Structure 1
Amino acid sequence: MSLLVNVFVYAPDGTRDFLDVPDGVSDTAGFERWRTSVWGSPMVRSLGARFLPRLAEDDLYVEPDEVVAFLDECALLVSHVPLIVAGMDPAHGAEEHTHNLTSTLAHISDAARRAVQAGGGVVIW
């Protein structure tokens, strides 16, 4: 099972409306096991991440006023992919992990940029 990343906006009544994922865009945010093994890992936490580690406990909702900081966190993690990969299960190989992590962070960042444009937030579930 995979985690998904989606964009939401608040409706006038305060409920969240989830926007459709554009054609040709991936909404994957990693494997379910990544909640703890990657996003909630000691390495990701030690880099100063404060949003993605929340996935170790529950789904992640990034409110509209937090999305720019969330984008900064994604950029931080992209700049440290080799360190994060070093702590991942070696059975799959560093090249595969690097590809998966880099593309997943790109999907998440893309959703966050779409959220900024829409004035909305991001959910990973």
Structure 2
Amino acid sequence: MGFTRSPHAGHAVLPRLDGEDLYVCHEELEAFRQECHLLLENIHTVAPPDNPKDSRLNHEYYVVEVTERLTYILEAIERAEQLERGAVVIW
């Protein structure tokens, strides 16, 4: 998925997802949740514009795809927080 287009400095967790697996330990879950919510709030800004070479890869496609994935990630964060040493892994 990659989040190198995020305009918000200070993201500590999401940039690590660009090109590699991501392991978020229990201590990082709240920061990760905040980053995901911030990205969701700004999804129309960070989603790339329409791709003239491939009409399937338009702006709205990315908005829908990333929103869906972030929703799943937020659900995983909630489940991980219920465990004493829960974590989130994304590959």
Which structure shows the bigger proportion of residues in strand conformation? 1
Given the alignment of the two structures, is residue 64 of structure 1 paired with residue 29 of structure 2, yes or no? no
User: Residue 71 of structure 2 aligns with which residue?
Assistant: 106
Per the alignment, in what secondary structure is the counterpart of residue 82 of structure 2?
helix
Instruction: Pick closer, same or farther for the CA change 1:50–1:88 going to 2, 3 Å.
Output: farther
2:8 to 40, 47, 63: 47
Given the alignment of the two structures, is residue 80 of structure 1 paired with residue 46 of structure 2, yes or no? no
The answer for unaligned runs of 5 or more in structure 1 is: 1-33
Deviation at 1:101, TM superposition (A): 1.1
RMSD of aligned residue pairs (Cα, Å):
1.7
User: Residue 123 of structure 1 aligns with which residue?
Assistant: 89
Q: TM-score of the superposition, structure 1-length normalised? A: 0.61
Task: Output the amino acid matched with 2:71.
Answer: A
Percent identical pairs in the alignment equals 34
Instruction: Pick closer, same or farther for the CA change 1:88–1:60 going to 2, 3 Å.
Output: farther
Number of residue pairs matched by the alignment: 85
1:96 to 55, 61, 64: 61
Q: Distance in 2 between matches of 1:93 and 1:115?
A: 33
Q: TM-score of the superposition, structure 2-length normalised? A: 0.81
Q: List aligned pairs for 1:29-48, cutoff 5 A.
A: 34=1, 38-39=2-3, 41=4, 43-44=5-6, 46-48=7-9
Q: Distance in 1 between matches of 2:25 and 2:50?
A: 32
Deviation at 1:118, TM superposition (A): 1.6
The answer for unaligned runs of 5 or more in structure 2 is: none
